Amino acid sequence: MYKINCLNPIAAIGMDIFTDAYEKTDDFSEAQVAMVRSAAMHDMDLPDSLLAVARAGAGVNNIPLDKCAEKGIVVFNTPGANANGVKELVIAGLLMATRNVVAGAGWVTDNKSDPDIAKSVEKGKKAFAGTEILGKKIGVIGLGAIGAMVANACDALGMIVTGYDPFLNDAMKEKLSGNVATVTDINEIYKNSDFISIHVPAMDATKKMINKAAFDQMKDGVVVLNYARDVLVDDDAMEAAIKAGKVAKYVTDFPNAKTANMEGVILTPHLGASTAESEDNCAIMAAKEVRDFIENGNVKNSVNYPAVDLGICTASGRIAVCAKASAGVDSKLAGIIGETSAVAANTKGDWMYILADTKAALAADAAEKVKALDGVLKVRIVK
């Protein structure tokens, strides 16, 4: 029996995917699997029993990835499961910024007790005149699941769309509308766009990437949309750019103490994936990833360990090993586990994951012998 601890509420449609071989527990210290959405895990003690953390969402900045990797804990996320929900909110952000929707709706609320409001509207609406997005240029930074959908949606709305992604490949290009142009220099996005929409993960390399140097290259009156993570934007530089007229509006889904008190900012309370459909999609995807990992040892959509897949386990035995990439553990396995029918190994950064199918059932002490190898972090007999 595998025990699952939910650090946040996870949609029932996802949890229902787990069979009777799994049970929920409220005790994190005994869990083999942790299901999480936004709960902060950085200061948590990770039990030795923990095999996997599944994030029902894309961002994983609330999870200590290296700490998990060092303990042989595989961290999964659900890229693309909430993409449509975020895409729709980005389009809403575009319209809020250009059509003065927020200010206009606020005016109506402020004047709701006016018995002649129907007449007052005709005078008051002049203060909220806006612009249209048709024919305007938008630069999309990051063309993953969300960025690609945003680019295509903007194209469908008649905008001139240019995308940038340093990791752009043919598979990603195939998901883009034929009208979406791509560039290899992010500065082209900064220089030519009327709107800029950011869709990159929060990493050391991307923190404060939208900074003074970026703003200095942008058109006056640009609109910046951030539905990725707040740390991607230098808030002090953004405030200066707004005051100077460089940025007309900053639209973000991540309020903080700084932006909540800035003029020229439209804020929503992290609503990007807050739809019933997104929560269901993420929960289903996370549960399927966990089951495939627990039952077959396969790793798909992990953010700290490499993808390794030997399919459904039909061999007499299967062993899974998390190790340091530099230790060369894969070359030492055969002498311990016996003759193999299939082996798959891959590395990601400092870490290696190995799956091996054996022609005979694994010996009772096989896991202990493999665990004794230098560089091995965690060993599991899958079958």
24, burial (CB in 10 Å: exposed 0-12, middle 13-18, buried 19+): middle
Q: What is the DSSP letter of 362?
A: P
d(CA 370, CA 89): 49
Residue 267, strand partner residues: 252
114 — phi, psi (to 5°)?
-75, 115
Residue ranges, the chain, pLDDT below 50: none
- Output the pTM of the full model: 0.82
Report pLDDT digits (tens) over 276-316: 999 999 999 999 999 999 999 999 999 999 999 999 999 99
CA dihedral 328, 329, 335, 340 (to 10 degrees): -110
pLDDT the model gives residue 59: 84
CA distance 232 to 69: 25
Structure tokens belonging to residue 123: 């005078």
User: What is the CB neighbour count within 10 angstroms for residue 353?
Assistant: 28
Q: Are strands 2-6 and 33-36 parallel, antiparallel or unpaired?
A: parallel
Structural domains present in the chain: 1-81+275-305 (3.40.50.720), 83-112+129-267 (3.40.50.720), 311-383 (3.30.70.260)
DSSP letters, 32-81, are SEEEESS---TTSPPPTT--EEEESSS--TTS-HHHHHHTT-EEE--TTT
Q: What is the pLDDT of residues 110-169, one digit of tens each?
A: 999 999 999 999 988 989 999 999 999 999 999 999 999 999 999 999 999 999 999 999
Per-residue confidence (pLDDT) for residue 124, from 0 to 100: 85
